[in-house]
Structure 1
Amino acid sequence: MLQIVGVHGIRQGASATTAELSGSWQESLEEGLADSGHAAAVGPLRLTVPSYQGVYPKTATRYMRLGSDAADPDEDAPVDEEEEAFILQALAAYAPSAEAEEDDSPMAGRTLGAGRLTPRLLRRAQAVDRVAGKGVTDRLLWLVREAHGYLRHEETGAAVRAEVKAALAATGARMVIAHSLGSVVFYDMLSRGEVPAAAGGGPGVVSLITCGSPLSWLAVRKGIHTAGVPLSVPAGVEWTNLYAPNDPVNKGGGLSPLAVGVTDIKVDNGKLNAHDVH
C-alpha cells in the first residue's frame, strides 16, 4: 500500500481532527486518480494528515481562528512592533511596487476604523490592493499572521514539526503532499534535517508535492531560508509544485524562478477557491 503524509495549511486545521483531515484529503486524491485513469496503476493508498491544531496557539487572529475554544474576535491581541515589521516585510515581498503606492500623508491609515491593525499596516494593505487587486490583503493577512506564529516562535514551530515527524515515522511514508503553509513547514523540516531517514538508510521522503505554496515570498523570513540563495531540497527528493493562476497566495506563479530541482505544474482550480487544497 502506498503511504502518503499530508501537511495541511492553517485553514484546513481550524477544527478538523487527524481522522477528518485524512479522510477528506484521501477522498479528493482518490477522485483525482480515478479521473486520471491511473488509479489501478497506483493501487491502494493511505493518506495521513496529522492535525497540529492541538499544538498551535489558540490566541489566533481575527483573520483565522484555530479550534472551537478560540478567543472572541474582540479579544484578539493587537499587532506588536515585531509582528508589524514581519507583516510589512511579507506584504512588500508579495507586491514590491506597493511601497511606492503608499499614502504617506499624516492621517493616512488612521481613519479606517479601530480594528487591530496599525496605521502603517493599513497603508501597506491599501497599497497592495491598488497593485494586486481589491481585497487581496484580506485573503493574505490570515496567512501572514499565522505564518508569523510559526516562523517567529520556535516552540510553536518545533511542536508543529514534531507532529509531522511522528506521522512520517509511524506510517513509513516516502511521499509528502504539502499545502499552503504546510509547504513552508515541510521545507523547514528538510532544511533542518528533521525528516526521518528510510529504514535502510537514505532519504526517508523521496517525493514531495507542494500546492498553493507561499514559499516564493515567505522563504526569505528568518529561520526558513537564506535570502539570495535558490530554494532547494536534498538530493534524492523529487519535488513537484502545483500552482493555480488565480491563487493570490502564490501570485499565480510557480517556484521554478526561485528554486532549483523543482517541476512546476499549472493547474485549474477555478477562481473562487483557487487556493483550496482540493
Structure 2
Amino acid sequence: MATGKPQLLFVHGIGGFRDTATDRRRWLEALAAGTRDADMAEAISALTQGWLGDVTFANYSDLFNRRGAQGYEAVELDEYDVPFLTDLLDSMLGELSEQFPPEASRRDARVIRDARFQLDAAIQGRQVQGVGDIGRRLIGVTTTMLRLPGVRQAAQWMNGSVLLFQLAQVGRYLDRRAKKAELGAAIRGRVLNCLDPARPLVVVSHSLGTVVAYEVLHEYEGTVPLWVTLGSPLALGAVVLDRLVPRPARCPENVASWLNFWDRDDIVVGRPHLAEWIRPSRSGVKAVTERVDSRGLWTHTATKYLEHGAVARPVIEALQS
C-alpha cells in the first residue's frame, strides 16, 4: 500500500511550447478557484502551498515543438497524418453541428456546411492528390472552422495552419510505426519520470493528456486513488479509441476511481460515450462521467474545467484522504 505525501500530477494536452512553471501556476490557480466554488476555501492554502501534496506539471510540449519558445514548428504532414486528421475533423464537425444547429444560427450553420464541403472534397481527392495538396485543403477546413465564434476564441490557435498541426499531435502520439513510435514512448517516459510509485498519486489530465495518462497508468506500478479526465477524446471511436494500447480499452488496474468530465460545448470530446465504450478494470472500476457547463465561448481548456467545484472537490478529497 502506498504511503507518504500524495502526488498531484497535471498532464496537458495539445498546443505549442509550454513553460512548466507558468502552466503549473495557472492550473493550480484554476483548481483553487474550483475549490472555492466547491465551498472548500479552507483547503486552498494547503493546495497552493503544496501541503496537501507535491504538485507536478508533466511538460512534454518540447517533444512536439522543436523550436521551443522561439515559435511553433509547422512540420509537414505525412501519409499517416492525413487519414487521422480527416477522421478527427469529421468528428469535430459533427460536434459543431450539434453545438450550432441551423435554428440557432443560420450564419454558424453555413460556416459548418462550408467546412464540411471542403473536408468532403479533400477526402474524395485523396487518391489523386499529394499529401501537400491535401494538407492545404485541410488547412482550408480549419481556417473556415475558425470563423465560428467559439473556435476563434482559442487564443493559442491563431490560424488554420497552427490549429491543424496541433490537432495532428494526437495522431503523432498514437503513431505506432517503427521510429514514429519513439515519440509516444518519449512522452510516456517524461511523465513516468515525474512519479514515485511508493506514494499515492492523483492524476488530472486534459485532452491529449488523457490519452497519454491512459497509457502511462497501464505502465505505472504505483497506486492511483483518483484519475480525472477533462475534455477527453478517448472515446472518439476509430480516431482514438481503436489506436490505444492496451486494446480493447479498459480502466487501468491501479486506478481506484476514475471521473470523466465533459462540457456540452467542447467540440473535441466524444460526448458521454467514454463510460460506455471503455471497459472496467478487473476490480470493476470504470469511468463515471459528469457534464459541466462552462462560461465563455471556448470550453476546451483545462483551466475552464478546473474552475468547476464538481471537478475540484474530488481532487481535494483524494489528496486529503
Mapped contact 1:246–1:271 kept (Cα < 8 A): no
2:291 counterpart residue number: 266
User: Is residue 2:264 matched to residue 1:257?
Assistant: no
2:310 counterpart residue number: none
2:40 counterpart residue number: 38
Structure 2 SS opposite 1:176: strand
Distance in 2 (CA, whole Å) between partners of 1:207 and 1:104 is 42
User: Is residue 2:223 matched to residue 1:216?
Assistant: no
**Letter matched to residue 168 of structure 2:** R
- Which of 257, 272, 285 is the matching residue for 1:238? 257
Mapped contact 2:85–2:167 kept (Cα < 8 A): yes
Query: TM-score of the superposition, structure 1-length normalised?
Result: 0.71
Distance in 2 (CA, whole Å) between partners of 1:8 and 1:105 is 30
Distance change >3 Å, CA 107–CA 259, structure 1 → 2: closer
Mapped contact 2:86–2:123 kept (Cα < 8 A): no
After the TM superposition, which residues 42-191 of structure 1 pair with which residues of structure 2 at under 5 Å, given as runs? 44-45=51-52, 46-54=54-62, 56-58=63-65, 67-70=68-71, 76-94=74-92, 102-103=120-121, 117-119=135-137, 121=138, 125=141, 141-152=164-175, 153-169=180-196, 172-190=199-217
Distance in 2 (CA, whole Å) between partners of 1:171 and 1:39 is 29
What residue ranges of structure 1 are gaps of 5+ in the alignment? Answer: 60-65, 198-203
What residue ranges of structure 2 are gaps of 5+ in the alignment? Answer: 98-115, 153-158, 280-285, 304-321
Distance in 2 (CA, whole Å) between partners of 1:183 and 1:177 is 8
- Cα shift readout 1:42-95 (whole Å, capped 9, x = no counterpart): 9543421121133x1335xxxxxx7223456xxx34322222122223334556
User: Is residue 2:19 matched to residue 1:16?
Assistant: yes
Deviation of residue 213 (structure 1)?
0.7
Mapped contact 1:195–1:205 kept (Cα < 8 A): no
Deviation of residue 166 (structure 1)?
1.5
Distance change >3 Å, CA 104–CA 269, structure 1 → 2: closer
Distance change >3 Å, CA 40–CA 158, structure 1 → 2: same
Distance in 1 (CA, whole Å) between partners of 2:42 and 2:184 is 38
Question: Comparing both chains, which one has the higher relative contact order based on Cα–Cα distances under 8 Å and sequence gaps of 6 or more?
Answer: 2
2:9 counterpart residue number: 5
User: Is residue 2:302 matched to residue 1:277?
Assistant: yes
Distance change >3 Å, CA 231–CA 141, structure 1 → 2: farther
Aligned-CA RMSD value:
3.9
- Cα shift readout 1:12-49 (whole Å, capped 9, x = no counterpart): x62312x2222221122122112312244695434211
Q: Which has the higher helix share?
A: 2
1:200 counterpart residue number: none
Deviation of residue 171 (structure 1)?
8.9
Distance change >3 Å, CA 180–CA 92, structure 1 → 2: same
Mapped contact 2:17–2:65 kept (Cα < 8 A): no
Percent identical pairs in the alignment equals 25
Mapped contact 2:197–2:221 kept (Cα < 8 A): no
Mapped contact 2:211–2:233 kept (Cα < 8 A): yes
Distance change >3 Å, CA 235–CA 195, structure 1 → 2: closer
